[in-house]
Amino acid sequence: MGVPFDYAPDRPEHIDAILNGLDRYNPETTAVFQEYVVQQCDQKFYDCYANLALLKLYQFNPHLTKDETITNILVKALTVFPSPDFSLALHLLPPHILTPLSSSSALPAAGDAPLSEAVQKLNVLNNLLAQASYAAFWSTLDSDDLYADLIADVAGFEELIRIRIALTISQSVREIERPVLESWLGMQGDAFNKFVNGVCGWEIGGTVVKVPLNKENEAKGTIVRENVKMEQFSRVIRRAYEQPA
Amino acid sequence: MSSFQNGGAPPRDLDDDSDIEEEALAANYREQVQYEGMEETPMSMAQQTDDIQSRLAAAAQPLDFSAPLDVKFASYDNYCSLFHFILNSDGPVDLEPPSYYWAWDVIDEFIYQFNSFCSYRNRIARQGNNEEEIAILREAPNTWGCYSVLNVLYSLIQRSQINEQLAAMKRNEEPMAVAGDYGSKSLYRMLGYFSIIGLLRVHCLLGDFSLALKTLDDIELNKKAMFARVMAAHFTTYYYVGFSYMMMRRYADAIRMFSHILIYVSRTKNVQKSAQYDSISKKNDQMYALIAICVAFHPTRLDDTIHTALREKYGDQLLKLQRGGPESLPIFEELFRSACPKFISPTPPDFDNPELNVDPLEHHLAIFMDEVKTNMWSPTVKSYLRLYTTMDLKKLAGFLEVEPEKLRGWLLVNKQRGRQIRWTDNGLLDGEVVGSGDLDYAMQGVSGLDSHLRSQGWPQVGGLVSTKLGTNILDDDFFRDGKGAFAW
């Protein structure tokens, strides 16, 4: 079963009440949402719909904007890739946020140059994850101290990302060379063994890691068959008469 | 005028989407069009006798695009005083709307003016050379402000209890029981209803696509819905819902929305007044462009009417989009630019730093293009995988002249993007994850790749394939091949 986009299992009642009422536009609720983002970061849960509501408040009331909260929301959105959450959050940020830094940093008055730099850096990470360039993701993450600052508030960021990567791998892979998987997961040695065996439940055999069969990686040919009644086709048949062209 | 009194009609069965209904609607439409011509006389009489009637009529009149600033300001003040009168008088005002489509026209025009004012203000700030207008705009940051516009829409919705009424109708209960003093009057009910559509539009213009869809929670999208009585409303609703779905990467749902309305338009175009048809023909083309984009992301078999028209209008572009790769990028961009709504930024621009006032279109386009780039190799990968059941990854990488590591990424991306959330029931944001189903594969062995073609689901004797989602005809799920090559 699918889960509606606006549903979050861990959402407290008071947040739900704000989201469903006009208070979602009330600048005074900004503090409540901000606190909620902190909770999500600390306690490793995630509520995209509420975070988007906060970004909307910032969109309407730019003076209330807290850069740190924005980047935390984006970092949290990374941990649920390949969902569109990161992009949906970006859409609500100021339009100049993605313009190349050279032009905006030349402006002394552009007070939020650091924010647009951070957002663009995170966008690089997002694109690497979206393109399944996992090895490049880990090396990029290590390449700049700014990244360490940006992800610092989000508890278990690397672990959450790793689980997400493992999930996408399990959908497409039955066997994979150990060095490739090591680079994708950004870990080696004992830590790697522990994660792959313990968390993922995959089998390491020499230089090959086996992913157990699941619904997604079976790659089984399926024949879709369904019985339908003649009446259900009456439209098609009628159409054939209606539109001789 | 009577169309909204019929609003209490029992909600129909979801599956009951037959031709009969479409014909009934077209007939209804024909009546309305005739009716429109006849009503001019009573309206002009009303204008003489009642000042408020003329104000109501004026509020629905389109403002010239090139109207000077003071006219735009005056128009805003007029709307404010009219809505204030309607919302904050001592109890509900006793007025009959001038026509059945009046409420739509008012909300439509109100949002259109908000939209064009924001775009204009942003442009003036970006160009930074019209000192006089900059000074005026600087002085009035709250004119056409997003809070006042949303305030009007939400107030109309709340006053009319329209969401409660719609929810009651969904449960097959009498809406009047929850309508209250205001909502039982057709003026408020109609304004409230179209304000919901207005909100969908405003949220979408501001880039809040999930909230846009959420706004329609209580509205059932079908041809019996109230919006379907007013062609422009019907059309607008599907455009914005489809667009929001596209931006949420729910391409199958987007295609379903665009197809629905485009088929409807193509079937009713003979009965529409030519002037009205002109005004929607631009949006019509925009939706074809959006369908082309969505089909490139999510190859699917389209309805024949749509497919033919699409090939006529965007044949060359579609081919390039479906081929993917870097050559497709300018086409994606061109189509997106021509077909997206006129995005706005909700807050007054920064007049002191013209460079900071980037056109919101560029912002949304940049985000969208990142997603396009992520996907651009999928068509290439698929075209090869269709040819083999088992294939060595390094060999395939050799064919494609890329590093095996890159190819592994493409394969993962293609597989991930093949899974999509699709609407089945309940709210528009609801849905289930569905695989695209035409091609499935998994990687196995040392640098190996085992690809496996899933059956296309050929019709068997006595066991035809059918679609469960078919709002329109047997389109989407039949044979999901972008080129429609599997027609039978």
A2 interaction partners in chain B (CB closer than 8 Å):
421, 424, 430-433
Q: Are B296 and B322 in contact (CB under 8 A)?
A: yes
Residue-averaged pLDDT of chain B: 78
Residue B112 clears pLDDT 60, i.e. is over it:
yes
Instruction: Name which of A8-22, A224-238, B276-290 the model is least confident about.
Output: A224-238
Predicted pLDDT at B392: 79
Instruction: Name which of A237-241, B84-88, B107-111, B267-271 the model is least confident about.
Output: B267-271
* B129: region left, alpha or beta (phi > 0 left; psi from -120 to 50 alpha): alpha
- Is the dihedral angle over the CA atoms B1, B6, B12, B17 positive or is it negative? negative
Q: Are A199 and A166 in contact (CB under 8 A)?
A: yes
> Average pLDDT, stretch B79-104?
87
A34: pLDDT confidence band, cut at 50, 70 and 90? very high
Highest mean pLDDT among A222-226, B124-128, B154-158: B154-158
Interface test with A, best of B13, B412, B417, B438 (most A CBs within 10 A): B412
The verdict on whether omega for the bond into residue A82 sits within 30 degrees of 0, i.e. cis, is: yes
> Average pLDDT, stretch B177-187?
87
- The Cα B144–Cα A1 span in angstroms is 43
Which one has a higher pLDDT value, B151 or B474?
Answer: B151
Pairing of strands B448-452, A175-177: unpaired
Residue B428 clears pLDDT 70, i.e. is over it:
yes
Predicted pLDDT at A140: 94
Among B227, B232, B222, B317, which residue's Cα sits nearest to residue B281? B232
How would you class B190 by CB atoms within 10 Å of its CB: exposed for 0-12, middle for 13-18, buried for 19 or more?
A: buried
B346 interaction partners in chain A (CB closer than 8 Å):
59-60
> Average pLDDT, stretch A134-141?
94
Q: Are B194 and B103 in contact (CB under 8 A)?
A: yes
Residue B442 clears pLDDT 60, i.e. is over it:
yes
Residue of chain A whose alpha carbon sits nearest to that of B346: A60
Judged by CB atoms closer than 8 Å, whether chains meet at A82 and B408 is answered as: no
Residue B193 clears pLDDT 80, i.e. is over it:
yes
Predicted pLDDT at B3: 36
Q: Does B141 touch chain A (CB under 8 A)?
A: no
Predicted pLDDT at B300: 84
ipTM above 0.90, yes or no: no
Residues B357, B361, B366: CA angle, nearest 5 degrees: 100
B142: pLDDT confidence band, cut at 50, 70 and 90? confident
Q: How many CB atoms lie within 10 A of CB A49?
A: 21
Instruction: Name which of B51-65, B267-281, B371-385 the model is least confident about.
Output: B267-281
> Average pLDDT, stretch B114-127?
91
- Is the dihedral angle over the CA atoms B67, B71, B76, B79 positive or is it negative? negative
> Average pLDDT, stretch B276-286?
78
Residue B459 clears pLDDT 90, i.e. is over it:
no
Q: Does B389 touch chain A (CB under 8 A)?
A: no
> Average pLDDT, stretch B199-206?
96
Q: Are B71 and B62 in contact (CB under 8 A)?
A: no
Predicted pLDDT at B446: 54
Q: Are B155 and B87 in contact (CB under 8 A)?
A: yes
Q: What is the pLDDT of residues B227-241, one digit of tens each?
A: 777 888 888 999 999
Which one has a higher pLDDT value, B308 or B26?
Answer: B308
> Average pLDDT, stretch B425-440?
77
Q: How many CB atoms lie within 10 A of CB B258?
A: 28
Predicted pLDDT at B276: 61
Predicted pLDDT at A26: 93
Residue listed under structure tokens 């999928």: B378
Task: Give bridge partners of residue A209 from the DSSP assignment.
Answer: A176, A204
B249 interaction partners in chain A (CB closer than 8 Å):
84
Instruction: Name which of A51-65, A166-180, B149-163 the model is least confident about.
Output: A166-180
B471 interaction partners in chain A (CB closer than 8 Å):
none
Q: What is the pLDDT of residues A186-209, one digit of tens each?
A: 999 899 999 998 888 888 888 888
The residues, ordered by sequence, that sit 6+ positions from A46 with a Cβ below 8 Å of its Cβ are A8, A40, A76, A79, A80
Which one has a higher pLDDT value, B269 or B67?
Answer: B67
Residue B333 clears pLDDT 90, i.e. is over it:
yes
Predicted pLDDT at A227: 65
Residue A141 clears pLDDT 80, i.e. is over it:
yes
Which one has a higher pLDDT value, B353 or B340?
Answer: B340
How would you class B136 by CB atoms within 10 Å of its CB: exposed for 0-12, middle for 13-18, buried for 19 or more?
A: middle
- The Cα A183–Cα A187 span in angstroms is 7
A216 vs chain B: nearest CA distance in angstroms?
8
The residues, ordered by sequence, that sit 6+ positions from A147 with a Cβ below 8 Å of its Cβ are A121, A125, A140, A141
A131 interaction partners in chain B (CB closer than 8 Å):
373-374, 409, 413
Predicted pLDDT at B65: 74
* Percent of chain B whose predicted confidence (pLDDT) is above 90: 34
- The Cα B206–Cα B99 span in angstroms is 30
Q: What is the pLDDT of residues B286-296, one digit of tens each?
A: 999 999 999 99
Predicted pLDDT at B48: 42
Q: What is the pLDDT of residues A82-136, one digit of tens each?
A: 899 999 999 999 999 998 765 544 444 444 458 989 999 999 999 999 999 999 9
Residue-averaged pLDDT of chain A: 86
Residue B366 clears pLDDT 90, i.e. is over it:
yes
Q: What is the pLDDT of residues A11-30, one digit of tens each?
A: 999 999 999 989 999 999 99
Predicted pLDDT at B16: 41
Interface test with A, best of B267, B416, B426 (most A CBs within 10 A): B416
Which one has a higher pLDDT value, B400 or B224?
Answer: B400
Predicted pLDDT at B279: 66
User: How far out from the chain centre does Cα B125 lie?
Assistant: 29
Q: Are B137 and B72 in contact (CB under 8 A)?
A: no
- The Cα B349–Cα A119 span in angstroms is 21
